[in-house]
Structure 1
């Protein structure tokens, strides 16, 4: 799941985190005309795992993607969906191209 990390923030509460600007796909993000910030990665999450995003609370900011949930498993599954995109520039380009073809606008 790296560079995503899953942490227990308090008893029974968990967060899935990604520090923006330090991923293998950052150059591909910039080449596609976007900024690799937390809001951009939130949009990616909405595209690759909408059914999981509905079950978490998103609290991203410019420097970090953050999804919170009491259900650790949903965050593990979300991380498993995001990691291939975060780690593979070619996959990132595919996701961005498909999203933009559908009229999706990333909030970056």
Structure 2
């Protein structure tokens, strides 16, 4: 087994932070992605934690503009991304080949 981590500690986004408040804060993922065959979902249910299912995504953050928008807000860029993702299943790769996200975007006619 090989474990690849992006930080100096194991655990990804799940961790305890000290020194922010007078008590330890458990911080980490706010979303559990995928519910089918998910060991995380199984553990959450076994522990009896309350969860809320959201239509995903329910909000968008436009970093350049530093603004949040509800998902029902019409935005040409968001609509284009949804169109690209919907058509992703139609992309054919030569057998045994991968495609980077940049290559896929360029193949889809995107320039930036």
Q: TM-score, normalised by structure 1?
A: 0.25
Bigger share in strand? 1
TM-score, normalization by structure 2: 0.24
Q: Which has the higher contact order (CA 8 A, sep 6+)?
A: 1
Query: Counting helix residues as a fraction of each chain, which structure ranks higher?
Result: 1
